[in-house]
Amino acid sequence: MKSRERFQEIIKVFVSYGFGYLIDSKFNSSKRSPSNLRMAFEELGPTFIKIGQILSTRPDLLPEEYINELIKLQDSAPKESYENIRSVFEESLNKNLEECFIYFSKEPTASASIAQVHEAILNDGRAVIVKIQRPDIYNIMKTDIDILKKIIKLSKGRIDINIVDPLAVIEELESTTEKELDFIDESKSIVKFKKNNENTVPVYAPDVIFGLCSEKVLTLEYINGFKINNMQMIKKEGYSNKEIAKKLALSYCKQIFDDGFFHGDPHPGNLLICNGKICFIDFGITGELDESLKEWLNKAMLAVATGDKSKIVDFILAIGIKRGKVNKGNLYEDVSYLFTTYLNTSLKNIKVAVLLEEMFSIVENNNIQFPKELAILFRGLIILEGVIAEVDPQLDIISVITSFVKGKNKLFLLKDINEEELVLSAYSFLRDASRVPTKTIEALSSISDGRAKVNFTIADLEKSVDHISNMVNRLVGALLISSLIIASSLIISNNVGPIYKGISLIGIAGYIISAIFAIFLLIAVVRDGGFRSKKKKRKS
């Protein structure tokens, strides 16, 4: 079909489903709805179904209600003829099909918008599946995406769906499509996943047959397994559904927090049980996290576990892409509401999907956008939660994630150690003392961002500065003395160093030094007029 004819067809379908207003304001938009957009994509055929599926992976670009509809799109298409598929295989690899296989199924086992899959047997007897692109699919999808660009330009700002930047969405779609149409890229993703999990016993991915791979052909080991949510087969094979669900959740945690490379579409069709292992297949969508993003995700999950709202705000500001003026005060209030509504309850009662949808709403309302990698991750977690709910409804995925993160942060485990009250008090004091500079900066930031306002007038500025300087010096001195007392107490309680009559001499020395410092500090306070204000009040 020529580009002009395809353009007219797309316009006609969009108009019939209530989206004609994008082209001309005279069209009625009353029928427009997320479900109508999904049905329009379905009617426009396989390439638009794939476009819709790709868009459904980006909750940072489209509103929640549209994401939920586009997820429903089923990627299926009429099968391509064997002759056409064979032609693509031979032209792409410059090899004769019969020379590569002793058996090749002429009927596809699956037929989707971009490619279809055939079972085959290699000359050495290994069973494989061969994924082959449809003829000219690259140009077909490129034409449709170019037409979408034209439609958006014609809309002239009439798009009232809450989208960050419509043209940016299409450009991102174009980039993602090119990646999905490069099977060499997918083969590299499989190899990377296998390397990351070579010592992870319950996790597997198919071997890549490199001699039979190209941009348009992907040949992989055949996995003779069943879908992870097939409860009948799980029971028949004697597997534990609870163990499978737990291992799946832990595997995803490892992919995120250890490897920084994760499967982006973990739905049941891409998760097979084979020989007691969870086998991940179809690596068309993957995500990669750099060290900085991994570290921030680690902190964010600890913040969720401990109810630390400030850390969540820090996380959003650190990794988010600012799209306008950001009021930290408003952001803090929104996060506080989120904690009050969802996180002041047991973690097992929290749904990942609901929590992440609220988080996306918060960042969007505060002119912030999450990076693409995080958007793919969040969608993956939402899909994973649905799979786990089918396999083991009792498993709490958030508790699994937070437990995994806690295990990587040994200092966090101090709160679970049952030591003497003095030790716990010392830890609490030192922790709070270390936060003083940070809290001071946060207080100043809240003032500058408008979350708190202070009205004051400074008289005798030089005297005030001197007075503040003295106060800071005393505070530092008091902290040092307190730390020395606590350290001495710990030394005595643990009998460290030389012992005399059951008491640590180092601890006693620490007490004496603390007392001397305290006397000097008290003298300094009296000399500087520390009690002057009280005396004046009595005289008056």
Query: Could you report the per-residue pLDDT of 437-466, keeping only the tens digit for each?
Result: 565 666 666 555 555 555 544 545 555 556
Q: Answer left, alpha or beta for residue 455, where phi above 0 means left and psi between -120 and 50 means alpha.
A: beta
Handedness of CA 335, 338, 340, 345 (dihedral sign): negative
Residues in the chain, overall count: 540
- Kindly give the pairing relationship between strand 277-280 and strand 203-204: parallel
Highest-scoring range by mean pLDDT, 165-174, 194-203, 357-366, 526-535 = 194-203
Among residues of the chain, what percentage have pLDDT more than 90?
32
Could you tell me if 243 and 391 are in contact, meaning their C-beta atoms sit under 8 angstroms apart?
Answer: no
Question: Angle 527-532-535 (CA atoms, 0-180°, nearest 5)?
Answer: 135
Position 536 scores a pLDDT of: 44
Looking at the DSSP bridge assignments, the partners of residue 321 are 369
Grouping H, G, I as helix, E, B as strand and the rest as coil, residue 326 is coil
Position 415 scores a pLDDT of: 41
Position 420 scores a pLDDT of: 42
Position 418 scores a pLDDT of: 40
Q: What is the mean pLDDT of the chain?
A: 80
Lowest mean pLDDT among 9-13, 353-357, 443-447: 443-447
Question: Angle 251-253-256 (CA atoms, 0-180°, nearest 5)?
Answer: 110
CB atoms closer than 10 angstroms to residue 128: 20
Position 165 scores a pLDDT of: 63
pLDDT band at 346, cuts 50/70/90?
Answer: low
pLDDT greater at residue 347 or residue 290: 290
pLDDT band at 468, cuts 50/70/90?
Answer: low
- The yes-or-no verdict on residue 173 having pLDDT over 90 is no
Per-residue pLDDT reduced to its tens digit, 34-64: 888 889 888 888 778 877 877 777 776 677 7
- The yes-or-no verdict on residue 425 having pLDDT over 50 is no
Structural domain spans, the chain: 3-75+143-180, 289-416, 458-539
| Angstrom distance (rounded) from CA 66 to CA 72 | 10
- The yes-or-no verdict on residue 180 having pLDDT over 50 is yes
Could you tell me if 106 and 82 are in contact, meaning their C-beta atoms sit under 8 angstroms apart?
Answer: yes
Average pLDDT over residues 229-241: 94
